[in-house]
Chains A and B, each alone.
Chain A
Amino acid sequence: MSAPEEPMESLYPFLYSGGTDLDAVLTAVRQSTVDKANEIVALRQSVLERDGDRMAACAQAMAAAFDGGARLFTFGNGGSSTDAQDVAALFLNPGGAARPLPAFALTADVAVVTALSNDIGFEVVFSRQLAASGRSGDIAFGLSTSGNSRNLIAGFQEADRRGMITVGLAGYDGGQMAELGTIDHLFVVPSSSVHRIQEAQTTVYHALWELAQDALRRRGAVPPPRSS
């Protein structure tokens, strides 16, 4: 939905005209905020239309896995690492009446992250942790904007080898995460703006959490079906 990144010159032409009129700058940046609010509303709508049904199915699968004793492992780099930690914090300590669920962010332990990076390399920083701690039926949840982070790809490959449920959030066209073809639940935010991608991904994982909580309540309220 959103346009490719435009050069700053076309977004803020007054900057390059040599003027220093503060009122003009303030007017332009106010409009920029309005435009971006409209952009993210439109982008979320397109994510809903593309992936709404698949989000519901993913939340059902996560709820069934948690009922079976699964643990959630989240991972990402940079801004996406903060999202990974947000996902883990939300599942583990949701507050209110929501059910706390076992979740770990693979970026939280600096000793492990620096040991693996120093001794082997940064590309194994998630896969080695999943190899050590992930069990069949656990959930691997990775976030990237490009879909091309090597350590995420390695993490998803390891999770797949171990029989984990894999959930991936990406942007652009999904990159290598889409090419892998092994991610069980892949949600690609169709934008080329890293910022808008992250904003829409935040909504996706909040929706997955809320729907999974809803599914868990329903599963607890009725006898589980004989087969999944």
Chain B
Amino acid sequence: MNLKINNPFKSIWGLLLVASLFFAVPTVASQQDSTAVEAQTETTVDTAGSAEADTTAAPATDEAPATTDATVSTGTSTTTAAAAEETSKIDPQVYKNFFYYVLLFLVICTVIAVIGRIHSLYVLTKKMNGKYDPLANNTFQAILLFLFLLFFLWGTYYSFAVWGDWAWREAVTEHGKDYDQMFIVTTVLTTAVMVIMHILILTFTLIYRMRAKRKAYYYPHNDTIEKIWTIIPATVLTILVLFGFFTWRKITNVPEELQKSAIQIEVLGEQFKWSVRYPGADGKIGKRNYKLTTATNPYGIDFNDKASWDDIDATDIVIPVGKSVRFHIISKDIIHSFYIPDFRVQINAVPGMTNYFQFTPTVTTEEMRDRMNDPSYDYIMLCNKICGQGHFNMGKKVIVVTEAEYKEWLTKQGKYFTEDLQKEFAQNNTEIEVDQQTASLN
């Protein structure tokens, strides 16, 4: 080991260490003179009436306790004075903490470097004693990989047992049962493949690690084996594909009569909220035209369509258990996504087109609360397509109730065609009529 001073890396390293010490040492000392620093800050701020003096004072309080050398602190304060105006709000302790962590990291690096050096020395002495095994490290890495395998298997078990338990809730819709079944089949299959492949790879690396007098087995190909492991995944995948394809068709391809007999609900997404529209007594959702959007009619409902007059404006999505519900998903501005995790339901809300998702809930919110043993549990519909700053907070409660409760709830909801809107609409219509009359008179 030779200690050269002109080694640039060591010099840079040393400089970094010194620089961090420079900032970090006072964090230890600051406990003693923190009061002094505060007092100093107060006095400088008090005495300095003008803004200029204030900015120069700020870096001074930053640097002065760090160095105790007056000349250095004034030197740095003049150079940082311009930048200081911006950062003067930030507590100097913040910088100290930052450099404390930098120092901590550098210390760890140094420790690692020292360990590395010690290891080199150890190898060197072994070499001198003639006991050096050039493959020792190779074996060590193989053992580490095997230990990783054990960790990996334990980690897989742990994450399934703990996080899997957190994550998994049975679906509460009819199609969700098919979904869950397929999900579990796929999970078992893929986990098995993952675990077996890792066991194979990481035991091979241990067993077949390099030995001094062994040669690898020259085995460039074996067509039979290759055919087998092409055909087996292909078959398994075919089964999964068919399974998935039929489930997918079942979910998305609802027969027309069932589409019509379902309860129709329209959901409109916008930045950053959802609006829900029930069709009212006539069972028809009135027309909407985005061009009719006004401050009083933010939904853009076309009230010329009489079907819209009884449309219900609901604060939550309330649906009856055991009934097929057909959601019409639309968007007012950008793409959102209508996503209810518990229901295994998702479809994007795309401006300019209507998407549909039809499903049947099977468990009411009350029952779910009992099941989860959580009296405040609620189904939630989330926005699942990046849509701006409020994206993470754009949800709507979904409440599944019994049929009777649903009917009762419906009667209590307000309408989109509020009295104000009715007046406005009537006024507009008379204006149009007046216009038409005058036109005919002329």
**Bind each other:** no
